A and B are shown apart, each in its own frame.
Chain A
């Protein structure tokens, strides 16, 4: 089936080539990082995790979001989603590949990466994260590929494929729960030390993942003969709306506990993020922009008129992605380190090579997604004909 990726319109090739150029720039910057060390990034002794890990955290959410089309189809027999489960699975594959790449570029000694496998440490959540992420990638590749081949041949897929599809549903929940556990059990970082970290992660995942999937489906409808379907988009819109409401609700809950209790440890990170602390306020405009996007998203997604019109639904999804990306991709990880354990504020500013590497990894993910979607769409177009 891979040969279907080799035939495409000029637009398709232009996209792939521009993505490859960005990826190439990233490779050059990474070679610089490999030889000079992570000092070329903006991370410091106090902010020891920066853009790389925050992107990884966000993308695990996107990967988990694919389950929001798989679950209704397999468990609730919502046949309409059968058309797009493959797209959800392929989006998950691209997202997990991006996650693994972000971890790889963040590691200080990547040549020793296999130490995580050679010296397993079950007490470390990072160990479990490695297992569940790779397992999820494996599951999606196998299930997606087999379902698509079966569709192409016009045959029903085998029972073991369905079994693996069922396994992938709780597994999707687990990948983001485990990633949340990376943060939620750390005693010294009070922005992260909340019981609802996993719940927040899942809620934002189930808003952002399907939102990205919806936007990609609308794009697919525009550039190919395959139509993911109007009903599917509406249902997806509904799912995104509920998930986004939950996500914003959880954020309000955090604020309440932090500020009503008045405990400085609990609220100083939020104060830094939303108002500035000790005169440092670099992330404040970002966080309020995120709030703006979340509000816009909520309005567009809750009001039935705007949710049912695809143009405004698309805008709402874009706002969901923008809002959740800033909140999780910037605010959470970086905010967790501020103020530092000595209650001092040291700020973080990503450097140019760091940003290029991030863009290159995003480009890699979209490269993978483009190719996989091309294969899926061309097969579906063929089957529909």
Chain B
């Protein structure tokens, strides 16, 4: 069958993406799915998927012991033009570190393993299956997609901050002022990603599991950053696929989720 030049370039480009993304990209997207999704009627890279993240804290903490690693956080914030304000009042964070006893407040005990006590754990939006933030939004500017990602529509958000009150995990940040007016000394090359918008003052933002990267067949920026430094602590995949890496990990090792008793069904799992 004759292949014209455009089709060749398309396939070559996508294969290059697969090559750069490494094993994980192929794991997530079956061959032909990405191309087919460009047909647009149904976004096939996300059809019938249930995206989740598994954080192997053992590997992460190992890396933390070697150096105060912030690769995933820097990658995320750079990719999405998240400004740095330098104070907890105005801070905006999509993925960050908090100590074990604060990420899992109900789990702490006096005699706990020194390997986790006071150690930095990652916190981000859990993209719950039953998200209270989406229930309370009066304009549906935040909603759960079919593929499980809790999306933010900054065009529609009125900034009422009800979602921030409703989130049991403190995952959401608000733009108290224009992010472009963040202190220049803390944000020297803002915006760090000219292909992604900033937000305006008065809207809520949070981790979006890099939905725009997923649409192009790439893994989230934090996962890619962790892979680049060969730590592989962050795994991202489809819970609906029994052969996916995330399912394998969850099957092999004990995992916990934050505040699981609240019934929000978070999809960020921690392997201790």
Cβ of A350 within 8 Å of any chain B Cβ, yes or no, is: no
List residues 89-141 of chain A with CB under 8 A from any CB of chain B: 106-110, 112-113, 115-116, 118-119, 121, 123-127, 130
CA A344 to CA B259, docked complex, whole Å: 16
CA A152 to CA B92, docked complex, whole Å: 58
Which of chain A's residues has its CB closest to B155's CB? Answer: A112
Q: Which chain A residues border B166 with CB–CB below 8 Å?
A: 186-188
Cβ of B117 within 8 Å of any chain A Cβ, yes or no, is: no
* The residue from B123, B132, B140, B159 contacting A107, defined by CB atoms under 8 A apart: B159
Q: Which chain B residues border A262 with CB–CB below 8 Å?
A: none
List residues 245-287 of chain A with CB under 8 A from any CB of chain B: 265
Scan B81-93; emit 1 where CB is below 8 A from any A CB, else 0.
0000000111110
A106 touches B90 (CB 8 A): no
Q: Which chain B residues border A195 with CB–CB below 8 Å?
A: none
Cβ of A37 within 8 Å of any chain B Cβ, yes or no, is: yes
Cβ of B212 within 8 Å of any chain A Cβ, yes or no, is: no
Bin chain B's interface residue count: 35 or more
B156 touches A115 (CB 8 A): yes
B139 touches A48 (CB 8 A): no
Cβ of B138 within 8 Å of any chain A Cβ, yes or no, is: yes
B202 touches A37 (CB 8 A): yes
CB distance from B253 to the nearest CB of A (A): 25
A187 touches B262 (CB 8 A): yes
Cβ of B201 within 8 Å of any chain A Cβ, yes or no, is: yes
* B1-9, B27-35, B167-175, B189-197: which lies at the interface: B167-175
A108 touches B170 (CB 8 A): no
B138 touches A124 (CB 8 A): yes
CB distance from A346 to the nearest CB of B (A): 6
B91 touches A45 (CB 8 A): yes
B105 touches A342 (CB 8 A): yes
B176 touches A124 (CB 8 A): no
Q: Which chain B residues border A185 with CB–CB below 8 Å?
A: 132
CA A343 to CA B169, docked complex, whole Å: 10
Scan A321-346; emit 1 where CB is below 8 A from any B CB, else 0.
00000000000000011001111101
CA A126 to CA B157, docked complex, whole Å: 14
Cβ of A38 within 8 Å of any chain B Cβ, yes or no, is: yes
Cβ of B124 within 8 Å of any chain A Cβ, yes or no, is: no
CA A336 to CA B166, docked complex, whole Å: 11
A341 touches B202 (CB 8 A): no
Cβ of B102 within 8 Å of any chain A Cβ, yes or no, is: yes
CA A118 to CA B157, docked complex, whole Å: 12
A124 touches B137 (CB 8 A): yes
Cβ of B14 within 8 Å of any chain A Cβ, yes or no, is: no
CA A38 to CA B200, docked complex, whole Å: 12
Q: Which chain A residues border B263 with CB–CB below 8 Å?
A: 187
CA A240 to CA B138, docked complex, whole Å: 35
A108 touches B174 (CB 8 A): yes
Cβ of B234 within 8 Å of any chain A Cβ, yes or no, is: no
A265 touches B103 (CB 8 A): no
A127 touches B138 (CB 8 A): yes
Cβ of A374 within 8 Å of any chain B Cβ, yes or no, is: no
Cβ of B160 within 8 Å of any chain A Cβ, yes or no, is: yes
* The residue from A38, A123, A343 contacting B176, defined by CB atoms under 8 A apart: A38
CB distance from A261 to the nearest CB of B (A): 14
Which of chain B's residues has its CB closest to A119's CB? Answer: B139
CB distance from A57 to the nearest CB of B (A): 12
Q: Which chain A residues border B88 with CB–CB below 8 Å?
A: 44-46, 346
Which of chain A's residues has its CB closest to B159's CB? Answer: A108
B158 touches A44 (CB 8 A): no
Which of chain B's residues has its CB closest to A265's CB? Answer: B106
Max chain B Cβ within 10 angstroms of own Cβ: one of A113, A115, A346: A115
CA A38 to CA B201, docked complex, whole Å: 8
Q: Which chain B residues border A188 with CB–CB below 8 Å?
A: 132, 166-169, 259, 262
Which of chain A's residues has its CB closest to B90's CB? Answer: A39
B161 touches A342 (CB 8 A): no
List residues 335-365 of chain A with CB under 8 A from any CB of chain B: 336-337, 340-344, 346
CA A127 to CA B141, docked complex, whole Å: 13
List residues 69-98 of chain B with CB under 8 A from any CB of chain A: 88-92, 98
A116 touches B158 (CB 8 A): yes
Q: Which chain B residues border A116 with CB–CB below 8 Å?
A: 138-139, 158
B106 touches A109 (CB 8 A): no
Cβ of A173 within 8 Å of any chain B Cβ, yes or no, is: no
Q: Which chain A residues border B90 with CB–CB below 8 Å?
A: 39, 44-45
Q: Which chain B residues border A48 with CB–CB below 8 Å?
A: 161, 164-165, 174
CA A371 to CA B159, docked complex, whole Å: 33
Q: Which chain B residues border A49 with CB–CB below 8 Å?
A: 161, 165
Q: Which chain B residues border A38 with CB–CB below 8 Å?
A: 159, 174, 176-177, 201-202
Q: Which chain B residues border A45 with CB–CB below 8 Å?
A: 88-92, 164, 170, 173-174
Which of chain A's residues has its CB closest to B139's CB? Answer: A115
CB distance from A38 to the nearest CB of B (A): 5
A340 touches B170 (CB 8 A): yes
Q: Which chain A residues border B262 with CB–CB below 8 Å?
A: 187-188
CA A115 to CA B202, docked complex, whole Å: 14
Would you mind naming 28 contact pairs between A and B with Cβ atoms under 8 Å apart? A37-B202, A38-B159, A38-B202, A39-B176, A39-B177, A43-B176, A45-B88, A45-B89, A45-B92, A46-B88, A49-B161, A108-B161, A109-B157, A109-B203, A112-B157, A112-B158, A115-B158, A121-B139, A186-B136, A186-B165, A186-B166, A187-B166, A187-B264, A188-B167, A188-B262, A189-B168, A342-B105, A346-B88
**A residues neighboring B (CB under 8 Å):** 36-39, 43-46, 48-49, 106-110, 112-113, 115-116, 118-119, 121, 123-127, 130, 182, 185-189, 265, 336-337, 340-344, 346
20 additional contacts (CB under 8 A) given A342-B98, A346-B88: A37-B175, A37-B176, A37-B177, A37-B202, A108-B158, A108-B203, A109-B200, A110-B158, A113-B158, A121-B140, A124-B135, A124-B136, A126-B136, A186-B136, A187-B166, A265-B106, A341-B168, A342-B123, A342-B170, A343-B102
